[in-house]
DNA sequence: CACAAAAGCGACATTTGTGACATTTGCGCT
DNA sequence: AGCGCAAATGTCACAAATGTCGCTTTTGTG
């Protein structure tokens, strides 16, 4: 659990220390205070989220902390393997969940940057997953890519419920990769 | 009753050991001194209270199963309400999950001390949940109480797969409470 | 008992927070 | 473009908090 001081951040952002403190005070940048006089600390992941959110470049020293993990949720082994192969070759970490319980636990445990979600898994309603996830404040950074064979109406509904992007089945490897890199784009190059 | 040394805390907080000692000296962080030359020790609960009080993030390794929180997994509203009512009156915290995804996420997020699990929920195979949970090393402290209307053969199988106890449906409030307190008894006393 | 690793401590170096004030930036207006 | 205003950012000095270093003592492990 690495943290950064205001001074570190001031250097990375090429900005005055005073300004960093103001960002934190105003809530733009998430941080917390040490007991003493309230010296500020920022979790690396929060800092990266901050950079990402403002389209700022991530310093090389912090590249290692960039989260490029993708959770693949689908009950069909064939699909998950295909997606994993494509994403791995593009340099992403992957985890696979074959049912709702695994999906939920792995999501909370591994905190992936993106989840691919099949809407129609037996016993798991993709829409209620979307609703549930979007209610969790600490998953706010999670990108969701819905992958489904359902019609446009259902895809639209998924978007409305909080999916970041949808992909109809069948899809090409190209389409998948461009969707994922589009969502994680600025952060993932190694 | 686990304790932490100043070095541990220094690592968790990403802060210098010297600073931790100063926090303790100043009374910000509650601790006690060993006989020798006064090496410091801090109770985990005091440390967590300290982190909490200052809005600092709690390392995941420490938030495991030191609570009296029970996760109730069942798709039938009536059942979950009944269980919750019984457990609440006995002083337990409760969370409810109505499907597999919620169960998985809440399990990892809240780290309850015990989970009641229905074996036959639509779309969620209780047995595979047992298998999955018992494979996760950081869930080793979790107690699982299986609640099911299935026959003895299936209950035995659940026990074999890692359930700590089973309870046939229907059950009385008494039976439920004695099962839960039996499992948590030794762990939750504070 | 011996040895390695961790912890305490003092002195000193460095960083950080704060307030008051100067400077720059963004933006609408003429 | 020029102007003016408000918001954001930079500057500076000082006090407080935190980090560093070297050394000693304690604790952990065989």
pLDDT tens for residues A124-171?
899 999 999 999 988 988 999 999 999 999 999 999 999 999 999 889
Helix, strand or coil for residue B118?
strand
CATH 1.10.1660 fits B3-62, yes or no: yes
Instruction: Break chain A into its structural domains and give their ranges.
Output: 3-65, 69-188
Residue B166 has pLDDT above 50, yes or no: yes
- How many Å apart are CA B180 and CA B173, to the nearest integer? 11
Average pLDDT, chain B: 90
Residue A187 has pLDDT above 60, yes or no: no
Residue B120 — pLDDT band, cuts 50, 70, 90? confident
Question: From residue A161, how far is each of A152, A189, B15, B131, B176 by CA, in Å?
Answer: 14, 29, 41, 32, 38
CATH number of A3-65: 1.10.1660
Residue B27 Cβ < 7 Å to strand D: no
Question: From residue B56, how far is each of A38, A78, A109, B3, B49 by CA, in Å?
Answer: 11, 43, 19, 19, 10
Q: Give tens-digit pLDDT for B14-28.
A: 999 999 999 999 999
B3-62 with B69-188: one CATH topology? no
In the block, tokens 């950064």 appear at: A4
- How many Å apart are CA B69 and CA B87, to the nearest integer? 10
Query: Is the bond preceding residue B170 a cis peptide, omega within 30 degrees?
Result: yes
Give bridge partners of residue A72 from the DSSP assignment: A96, A116
Residue B2 Cβ < 7 Å to strand D: no
pLDDT the model gives residue B1: 65
A108 touches chain B (CB under 8 A): yes
pLDDT the model gives residue B106: 95
B69-188: CATH architecture: 3-Layer(aba) Sandwich (3.40)
Is the distance from CB of B60 to CB of B139 less than 8 angstroms?
Answer: no
pLDDT the model gives residue B64: 64
Task: Calculate mean pLDDT across residues A8-32.
Answer: 96
CA of B153 to C1' of D2 (A): 89
> Between A33, A102, A109, which is nearest B54 by CB?
A33
A84 touches chain B (CB under 8 A): no
> Between A2, A41, A105, which is nearest B104 by CB?
A105
């Amino acid at each position: 659990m690495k943290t950064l001081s205001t001074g570190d951040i001031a250097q990375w952002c090429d900005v005055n220390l005073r300004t960093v403190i103001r960002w934190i005070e105003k809530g733009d940048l998430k941080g917390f205070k040490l007991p003493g006089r309230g010296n500020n600390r920022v979790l690396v992941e929060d800092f990266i989220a901050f950079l990402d959110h403002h389209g700022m470049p991530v310093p090389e020293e912090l590249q290692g902390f960039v989260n490029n993990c993708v959770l693949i949720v689908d009950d069909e082994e064939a699909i998950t393997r295909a997606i994993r192969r494509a994403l791995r070759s593009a340099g992403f970490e992957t985890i696979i969940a074959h049912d709702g319980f695994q999906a939920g636990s792995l999501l909370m445990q591994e905190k992936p940057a993106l989840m691919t979600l099949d809407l129609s898994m037996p016993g798991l309603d993709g829409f209620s997953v979307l609703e549930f996830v979007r209610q969790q404040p600490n998953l706010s950074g999670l990108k969701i890519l819905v992958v489904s064979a359902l019609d446009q109406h259902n895809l639209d509904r998924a978007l409305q419920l909080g999916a970041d992007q949808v992909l109809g089945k069948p899809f090409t490897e190209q389409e998948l990769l461009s969707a994922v890199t589009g969502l994680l784009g600025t952060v993932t190059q190694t």
